[in-house]
């Protein structure tokens, strides 16, 4: 009897403890060394596309779009190293609820720290976004201070007064100064898909305060002026003035040159950009198919703003076009510099065919980068570039697959275009 009473008391005690459980206890403080450790962790295999979708992962069940992913990575690292985690609470609460942080017991119905962490991250994802990340929880940095673990955010004006926002997490910096990025999207979040990784990304949306290259604020730095953040972290507004002075092309050339630790020949750049164009073109297949699949799920009804925002592709289509333009410019620079012999003969011919310098077809081009966007239709980069130049591709998620890829302009949707 006494044993049963003691056991009941023990279970009651544990239950009461859980009712007031923090997400985790922090007994360390953020420092320059921990920032370096965070940067190294971001580069490691621990940060991968399946970190939230692999049932074997301790963070299985985390659901994120672009900004949520940044918060998740920061929270997970803090959790694993007993560091404090705090972000601005968008509800406008004061006192102990001024921030969303690891000491709150809002998620104590979950029995373990890891489960409470997952619940906290998911609630953050439902509460905040790129605007909060840009305005409150990060600070701008000098170009030379960009490291793995930094984020790049942009906000561009779309139609009808709406905006498109996105966040990339910088997983690594390549020797030539391009970025290895990992991120998510609203569509990925909606369907529980793995994160997206691009190992050779050139940013192409200008910084505009407070959007641009940023780092996370330490909890004690929330709400403080830029001058109060340790100078070793690289706080600076320089990117915004540089962007205005240099313009888009020269600004990002400056970023690449500043971060590179090895030189890249014109021929090497041309080769790299061909691969990037191909990768982005093939990635568009998944982006478009996500929208088409959702369209089936809703029985072809017109998408509302949230659905349109998740499944339309105007920013991605613009990125693809700009990649083609960079590739074409790289080809021109190689020719003008009389360095065409530094590039493979196949790639030279591919380039001449894609950009209409040579009026011919080449099955090797189709094999090198097939774009099979439906079962009976496969095109090469030459055809895709022609369609892009004509403005034939549709970014509207209510359009058919033929319209999305510029194969046909008949029977396009009459559903509202939200931006």
Question: What would the mean pLDDT of 281-301 be, rounded to a whole number?
Answer: 97
Q: Which residues pair with 169 in a beta bridge?
A: 151, 182
- What does the alpha-carbon distance between residue 281 and residue 273 come to, in Å, rounded to a whole number? 12
Give 7's pLDDT tier (boundaries 50, 70, 90): very low
Question: What would the mean pLDDT of 333-349 be, rounded to a whole number?
Answer: 97
pLDDT at residue 97, as a whole number: 76
Residues with Cβ within 8 Å of 232's Cβ and at least 6 positions away in sequence, in order, are 32
Q: Which residues pair with 92 in a beta bridge?
A: none
Question: What would the mean pLDDT of 361-372 be, rounded to a whole number?
Answer: 95
Give 18's pLDDT tier (boundaries 50, 70, 90): very low
pLDDT at residue 387, as a whole number: 98
- Quick count: other Cβ atoms within 10 Å of Cβ 292? 18
Q: What percent of the chain has pLDDT above 90?
A: 91
Tokens standing for residue 171:
């997983």
Is residue 365's pLDDT more than 90? yes
Q: Which residues pair with 86 in a beta bridge?
A: 101
Identify the three-state secondary structure at position 95.
helix
pLDDT at residue 293, as a whole number: 97
Q: Which among 254, 225, 218, 219 has a CA at the least distance from the CA of 238?
A: 254
Is residue 42's pLDDT more than 80? yes
Identify the three-state secondary structure at position 78.
helix
Is residue 2's pLDDT more than 80? no
Residues with Cβ within 8 Å of 44's Cβ and at least 6 positions away in sequence, in order, are none
Mean pLDDT of the chain: 94
Give 12's pLDDT tier (boundaries 50, 70, 90): very low
Question: What would the mean pLDDT of 234-241 be, rounded to a whole number?
Answer: 98
Contacts 24+ apart (CB under 8 A), 274-279: 274/327, 274/347, 274/350, 274/351, 275/200, 276/200, 276/202, 276/323, 276/327, 277/320, 277/323, 277/324, 277/327, 277/369, 277/381, 278/368, 278/369, 278/381, 279/198, 279/200
Segment (H or E) for 297 = helix 266-297
DSSP 211: B
Q: Are 125 and 71 in contact (CB under 8 A)?
A: yes
Q: What is the pLDDT of residues 400-409, one digit of tens each?
A: 999 999 999 8
Half-sphere exposure of 43 (CA within 13 A, CB side): 12
Residue 16 or residue 279, greater confidence = 279
Is residue 342's pLDDT more than 60? yes
Q: What is the pLDDT of residues 138-153, one digit of tens each?
A: 999 999 999 999 999 9
Give 20's pLDDT tier (boundaries 50, 70, 90): low
Q: What is the pLDDT of residues 171-228, one digit of tens each?
A: 999 999 999 999 999 999 999 999 999 999 999 999 999 999 999 999 999 999 999 9
Give 95's pLDDT tier (boundaries 50, 70, 90): low
pLDDT at residue 410, as a whole number: 86
Q: What is the pLDDT of residues 313-339, one digit of tens each?
A: 999 999 999 999 999 999 999 999 999
Q: What percent of the chain has pLDDT above 70?
A: 94
pLDDT at residue 91, as a whole number: 81
Q: What is the pLDDT of residues 124-134, one digit of tens each?
A: 999 999 999 99
pLDDT at residue 361, as a whole number: 84
User: What is the DSSP track for 359-376?
Assistant: ----HHHHHHS-EEEETT
- What does the alpha-carbon distance between residue 196 and residue 80 come to, in Å, rounded to a whole number? 23
Rg value, the chain, Cα = 24
Token pair 């690449």: residue? 256
Is residue 92's pLDDT more than 80? no
- What does the alpha-carbon distance between residue 370 and residue 282 come to, in Å, rounded to a whole number? 8
């Amino acid at each position: 009897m006494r044993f049963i009473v003691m056991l009941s008391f023990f279970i009651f005690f544990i239950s009461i403890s859980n009712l007031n459980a923090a997400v985790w206890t922090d007994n360390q403080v953020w420092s320059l060394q921990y920032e370096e450790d965070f940067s190294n962790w971001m580069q490691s295999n621990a940060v991968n596309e399946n970190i939230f979708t692999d049932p074997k992962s301790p963070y299985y069940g985390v659901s994120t779009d672009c900004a949520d992913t940044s918060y998740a990575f920061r929270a997970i690292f803090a959790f694993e190293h007993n560091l404090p985690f705090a972000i601005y609470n968008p509800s406008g609460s004061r006192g102990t609820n001024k921030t969303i942080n690891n000491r709150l017991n809002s998620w104590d119905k979950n029995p373990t720290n890891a489960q409470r962490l997952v619940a906290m991250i998911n609630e953050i994802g439902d509460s905040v976004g790129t605007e909060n990340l840009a305005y409150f929880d990060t600070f701008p940095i000098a170009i030379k201070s960009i490291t793995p673990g930094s984020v790049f955010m942009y906000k561009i004006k779309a139609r009808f007064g709406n905006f498109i926002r996105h966040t990339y997490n910088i997983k690594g910096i390549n020797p030539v100064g391009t970025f290895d990025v990992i991120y998510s999207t609203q569509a990925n979040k909606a369907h529980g898909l793995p994160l997206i990784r691009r190992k050779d990304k050139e940013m192409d949306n200008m910084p505009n305060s407070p959007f641009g290259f940023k780092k996370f604020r330490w909890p004690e730095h929330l709400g403080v002026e830029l001058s109060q953040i340790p100078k070793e972290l690289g706080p600076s507004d320089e990117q915004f003035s540089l962007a205005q002075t240099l313009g888009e092309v020269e600004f990002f050339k400056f970023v690449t040159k500043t971060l590179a630790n090895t030189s890249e020949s014109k021929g090497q750049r041309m080769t790299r950009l061909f691969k990037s164009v191909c990768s982005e073109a093939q990635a568009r297949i998944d982006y478009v198919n996500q929208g088409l699949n959702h369209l089936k799920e809703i029985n072809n009804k017109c998408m509302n703003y949230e659905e349109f925002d998740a499944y339309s592709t105007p920013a991605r289509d613009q990125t693809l076009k700009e990649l083609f333009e960079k590739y074409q410019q790289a080809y021109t620079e190689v020719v003008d510099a009389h360095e065409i012999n530094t590039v493979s003969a196949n790639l030279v011919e591919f380039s001449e065919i894609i950009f209409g310098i040579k009026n011919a077809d080449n099955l090797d081009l189709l094999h090198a980068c097939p774009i099979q966007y439906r079962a009976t239709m496969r095109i090469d980069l030459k055809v895709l570039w022609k369609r892009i130049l004509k403005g034939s591709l549709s970014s509207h998620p209510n359009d058919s697959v033929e319209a999305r890829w510029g194969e046909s302009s008949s029977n396009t949707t009459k559903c509202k275009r939200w931006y």
